[in-house]
């Protein structure tokens, strides 16, 4: 992820993003804003396309997301059922079961597809929660300086030095076993990086003259933060989100592997945990262990590639090739 205190570049002020070739006929301000947004999205995509790794990452993500979304159609909705399991226990890969079966005789390929749902959902939700907390903390800390910022940044520092996994394990084990617990545990333990990043950016934005102008015109705290600072830190937050997702998915898998997930839902980390408990490691049943592990790695990699590409599109100073 991005270095925490980096003074990140720059999000363009809204005024500057206006494209020179605006339509001549007069339009409502709303329509103007939309045109402008459309143009900048198109420009974003043009630049994004030039990052080959980013495109690969995106393609992989779209594929996996589609598979997860259409899991019931692709592999059947009873693939998770143990009572309807089609195979024998621990069968090695065959034409009927391309990835073999688990200890209940369920098709591992189908479980892998179903597991994508939980892993992606938890990863996304946890990342959004984490980034949301980080953004709120970062913007407020950057905006209201003084004792508030001091206190809140010390809290951030404290969370920053706490080992995330240990904290998440502690949280997950005192609460009920469900995916919401995992989302919460990841969300509330991984926000400090985002908070620091956003705060730095907020400080940079707030030092610009137009903020002073807005204040002179009577803009209150809420107005400044929501209408001027937030849009400017948004690109940064977006890039940060894509990067946090991959670590959230990894953390989710880790927690599930440690047995802190909901044992009745299938997730990739949970599959690894099931495999370990069934003794697949010592029995050498690689088809049970490898696919979930590879899937976790691929998704985490894909999100990282996308995040990197987004980051360098939004921040030309990072250079083009990576």
Partner 1 sequence: MDTQDQHGRTRSSSAAPAGKPRSRRPRGLRPRGLLVAAAAAALTLTGGLATPLNPAPQQADARPAQAKDDGKKTLTVAVAQSVDSLSPFVAQRLLSTSIHRLTYEYLTNYDAKDNHAVPAFATKWEPSADKLTWTYTIRSNSKWSDGKKATAEDAAWTFNKIMSKEGTATSNSNFVTNFKKVTAPSPTKLVIELKKPQSTMAALDVPIVPKHVWEKVDDISKFNNDKDFPVVGNGPFILSDFKVDQYVKLKANKNFWRGAPKFDELVFKTYKDQDAAVAALRKGEVSFVAGQPALTPAQANGLKGEPDIKVNNGPGRRFFAIATNPGARTQDGKKFGDGHPALLDKRVRQALFLSVDRKTIVDKVFQGNAVEGAGYIPPRFSDYTWKPSAEQELKYDPKRAARLLDEAGYKKKGGKRVGKDGKPLDFRILCHATDPNDKAVGKYLKEWWGDLGIGLKVNCLDDVSVPWYAGEYDLAFDGWSVNPDPDFVLGIHTCAALPEKAKESAATDNFICDKKFDELYEKQLAEYDPAKRAELVKQMQSWLYDSGYMNVIAYPNAVEAYRTDQIKSLTTMPSAAGNIYGQDGYWSWWSAVPASGKSSSDGGSSTGVIIGIAVAAVVLAGGGALIALRRRSTAEDRE
Chain residues in the site for partner 1 (CB under 8 A) = 2-3, 5-8, 81-83, 85, 89-90, 103-105, 166, 169-174, 176-177, 258-260, 263-264, 274, 276-285, 317-319, 322
* Smallest gap from residue 186 Cβ to partner 1 (A): 16
In this structure, are residues 272 and 292 in contact, taking their beta carbons and an 8 Å threshold? yes
Q: Name the residue nearer to partner 1 (CB basis): 31 or 92.
A: 92
User: DSSP characters for 59-116?
Assistant: HHHHHHHHHHHTHHHHH-TTTT-STT--S-TTPPP-SSSTT-B-TT--BHHHHHHHHH
**Minimum CB distance to partner 1 smaller for 62 or for 283:** 283
- The radius of gyration of the chain's CA atoms, rounded to the nearest angstrom, is 23
**Nearest Cα to 309, choosing from 235, 247, 249?**
235
Closer Cβ to partner 1, 107 or 274, answer by number: 274
CB of 7 to partner 1, least distance (A): 7
For residue 137, what are its two tokens?
């903390």
Provide, rounded to whole angstroms, the least separation between the CB of residue 2 and partner 1: 7
Least distance in angstroms from the C-beta of 293 to partner 1: 15
Residue closer to partner 1, measured from CB, 224 or 243: 243
Q: Output the smallest distance, CB 320 to partner 1, in A.
A: 11
- 3-state DSSP helix/strand/coil % of the chain, to nearest 5: 70, 0, 30
The residue assigned the tokens 């043009």 is 46
Strand partners, 101: 107
Between 34 and 180, CB nearer to partner 1: 180
Nearer to partner 1, 3 or 151 (CB): 3
Q: Let me know if 237 is exposed, middle or buried by CB neighbors in 10 A (0-12, 13-18, 19+).
A: buried
Report in angstroms the alpha-carbon separations of 106 from 71, 201, 302: 15, 50, 28
Burial 99-138 (b: 16+ CB within 10 A, else e): bbbbbbbbbbbbbbbbbbbbbbebbbbbbbbbbebbbbbb
Give the shortest CB-215-to-partner 1 separation in angstroms: 28
CB of 84 to partner 1, least distance (A): 8
Residue closer to partner 1, measured from CB, 121 or 178: 178
CA distance 198 to 221: 17
- Burial letters 247-274, b for 16+ CB under 10 A, else e: bbbbbbbbbbbeebbbeebbbbbbbbbb
Minimum distance between the CB of residue 85 and partner 1, rounded to whole angstroms?
Answer: 8
């Amino acid at each position: 992820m991005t270095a925490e205190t980096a003074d990140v570049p720059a999000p363009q002020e809204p005024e500057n993003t206006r494209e020179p070739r605006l339509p001549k006929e007069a339009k409502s301000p709303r329509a103007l804003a939309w045109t402008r947004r459309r143009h900048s999205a198109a420009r974003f995509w043009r630049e994004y396309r030039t990052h080959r790794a980013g495109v690969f990452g995106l393609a992989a993500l779209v594929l996996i997301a589609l598979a997860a979304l259409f899991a019931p159609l692709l592999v059947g909705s009873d693939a998770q059922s143990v009572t309807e399991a089609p195979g024998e226990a621990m069968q090695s890969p065959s034409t009927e079961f391309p990835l073999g079966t688990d200890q209940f005789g369920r098709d591992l390929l189908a479980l892998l597809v179903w597991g994508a749902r939980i892993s992606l959902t938890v990863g996304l939700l946890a990342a959004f929660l984490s980034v949301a907390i980080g953004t709120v903390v970062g913007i407020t800390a950057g905006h209201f300086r003084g004792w508030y910022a001091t206190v809140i940044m010390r809290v951030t520092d404290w969370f920053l030095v706490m080992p995330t996994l240990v904290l998440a394990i502690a949280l997950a084990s005192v609460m009920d076993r469900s995916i919401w617990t995992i989302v919460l545990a990841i969300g509330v333990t991984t926000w400090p990086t985002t908070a620091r990043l956003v705060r730095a950016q907020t400080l940079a934005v707030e030092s610009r003259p137009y903020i002073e102008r807005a204040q002179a015109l009577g803009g209150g705290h809420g107005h400044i933060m929501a209408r001027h600072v937030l849009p400017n830190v948004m690109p940064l937050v977006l890039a940060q989100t894509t990067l946090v997702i991959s670590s959230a998915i990894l953390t989710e898998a880790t927690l599930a592997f440690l047995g802190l997930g909901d044992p009745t839902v299938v997730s990739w980390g949970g599959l690894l945990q099931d495999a370990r408990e069934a003794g697949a490691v010592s029995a050498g049943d690689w088809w049970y262990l490898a696919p979930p592990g590879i899937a976790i790695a691929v998704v985490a990699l894909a999100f990282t590639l996308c995040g990197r590409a987004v980051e360098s599109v939004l921040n030309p100073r990072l250079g083009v090739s990576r």
